[in-house]
Amino acid sequence: MHIQRIILFTVLIMCSRGIYAQKTSITKAQFDHVNLNYPGLEKINQLFLSGKYNDAATELLKYYRNRTGVKHLDFNPGDAQKFAGKKVNENTLDLANDILRHKFKPHKGYPAYDYGKNINWQYRPVQDQLLTTFLHRTAFWEPLGVAYRQTADERYAREWIFELRDWVRKNRQGAYPDDQEYAWKAFVVSFRLNHWSGYFNLFLNSPNFTPQFLMEFLNSYNEQANYVVANYTDIGNHRLYEALHLMYAGSTFPEMKTAAVWRKSGIAVLNEELPKQVLPDGVQFELSPSYHIGSIKIFLDALQIAKMNSAENEFPASYRNLVEKMVMAVGKYSFPDYTFPLYGNAFLTNKDAMLKSYKTWAQVFPENKVIEYYATDGSSGKKPDYLSSRLPDAGFYAFRNGWDAKATVMQIKAGPLAAFHAHPDNGTFELWVKGRNFTPDAGSFVYANVGNQENVKRDWYRSTKAHQTLTLDNSNTLINKAQLNKWETEKNLGILSYTNPSYTNLNHQRTFLFIDQTYFLIIDKAIGTAKGNLGIHYTLKEDSKPFCDNKKNMVNTNYADGNNLLIQLLNKDKVNLNEEESFVSYQYQKETLRPAFVFEKPKNDHNTQSFVSLLYPYQGSLVPNIKVTENTGHDPEAGKINLTININGKINAIKQDLNL
């Protein structure tokens, strides 16, 4: 009896997995979206016209398995020969085997979750809408395809086919109230188009990839592509991705009746959006270094797809020129180790990843010797012929004294209002000296709230007090709209001065002085009638082990290698130095406690209040001996700077009128 139950249970399982395989009768309607007049489909068309729909589908599958004129940017059927028998990356194999058990890992910021034997596509193990949208992008299926390509183990192919059919069956349009926020959000649908076109090639030669499944796949793919065409996001990088993924769809499946519509729609949108979304200085308008680089990839992938389809002339020369300017902007806002500030929900990159990007860019723009310089890590090409630089439309400024690992570089953000990923952080900066980023931006930790429910972590990382700038009563600045007052890049004294209408009745004027290409003086002025507690916030790297001297209003790092930083307030009036709780997030949903502090004083009347800070990088364990003399006419509140700075006997006279 026990054996009989096992046999019965096994049969039931096999039946449930094979329920679709039994539906072998292919109907005329399943060909509605296929252009049977497409070159190469003549035999298929004859079978179709004869009413032999099963045979027609069988021939169509043979056609896809043997076609050579269509290329995918990532995965192609012929690739299997190159990878067959090679050892699968252990992590990839673990992910693939987890998927066999319905343990999915849609987002790298979270572990794999069990979605159940009867897959529950609406399961939300954590209240982060990003995890759910990533689930419905279905990128997590890629390990199945990679494992199958290298092992030819049919378990992986069977599972992908089963799960795709299961997804289609359970996630039809309107199947649940919020489907347009998740499974049928146009942005998410477009990513499915992109991923499925690659997986199609990975599994195409599997014996489990049947003519019936082919027709189901093509019909679902057609529905989703048409959905994106009709439901583009209004603005932002989402619209760019949707357009690119429609180009993928149209070029990967040119046999579909509306393939040309998909491809042309994508091209039209990208041509339209490039000048809208990219500022004249070459920075993508969301002002996020990471999303800027992602946008470059979108625009260049589109060019490559167009080239494969002999449609390069559908992108004008101005398109290519502006993308080249985008690439050049990356070098300006980056540090010598190829990392960049974590503004606007950016996450930390690394040199290997950026070198890979630059090598791709160098192939597209071979005549640009500066891009070649970046791509070869300086071994060839031409080093930029400038040091300090600005991207004026984005409000990204950089002071630097060199391009190599020994350089001092300060990246500053003081620009216009930006949408989507922007934080209220005008005036924030990151200081990089001799290979160390002393003051990394907080990052973002998590991107979004869940519906109308606030996310405390998200709100903290976006708060003004989490950045290195001025606050009033620790509240968020209301406007990012910096007005440039002065920008000079003389060798002995570099100057950046701007004014931002940060609060109601309170403007923040911040001036950076880069002195002898060595150290910085930062002058902050709170101008207006508003009253409250003013704070100038500073943050340090998590491993800096700072010493805080409240009496002298100074903080210094204590790195064993001697590469250290002193931050000292030079005010003569009463200012309090207090430590703050602060975090830094280099990766999604991962954070580290790090040192932070704030210089505070009250603003009790209409008079302008100022803070003057010295940031001095030094070598060794002894803190520099600094003496500052205020000369006649020194009046920071009035914009008059007249100081003599003596650091270990080296004297600099700083005299500036910030009103000129």
Active site residues: 291
Q: How far is CA 292 from the centre of its chain?
A: 7
Residue 350, Cβ density class (10 Å: 0-12 exposed, 13-18 middle, ≥19 buried): exposed
| Cα gap 589→445, rounded to integer Å | 5
The single-letter code of the amino acid at 248 is Y
Give the side-chain half-sphere CA count within 13 A for 303.
22
* Token duo for residue 576: 């309090």
Q: Which of 278, 379, 366 is nearest to 330 (CA)?
A: 278
| Cα gap 4→7, rounded to integer Å | 5
CA angle centred on 544, ends 541 and 548, rounded to 5°: 110
64 and 280 Cβ atoms separated by less than 8 Å: no
**Tokens 């364990």 found at:** 621
642 and 634 Cβ atoms separated by less than 8 Å: yes
| Cα gap 618→396, rounded to integer Å | 26
User: What 3-state DSSP class applies to 194?
Assistant: helix
Q: Is the dihedral of CA 238, 137, 232, 243 positive or negative?
A: positive
- Crossing angle, helix 317-332 and helix 289-308, to 10 degrees? 150
Burial letters 366-389, b for 16+ CB under 10 A, else e? eebebbbbbbeeeeebeeeeebbb
The torsion angle over the Cα atoms of residues 145, 151, 156 and 160, rounded to 10 degrees, is: 20
- Going by their DSSP bridges, the two strands 436-437 and 640-647 should be labelled as unpaired
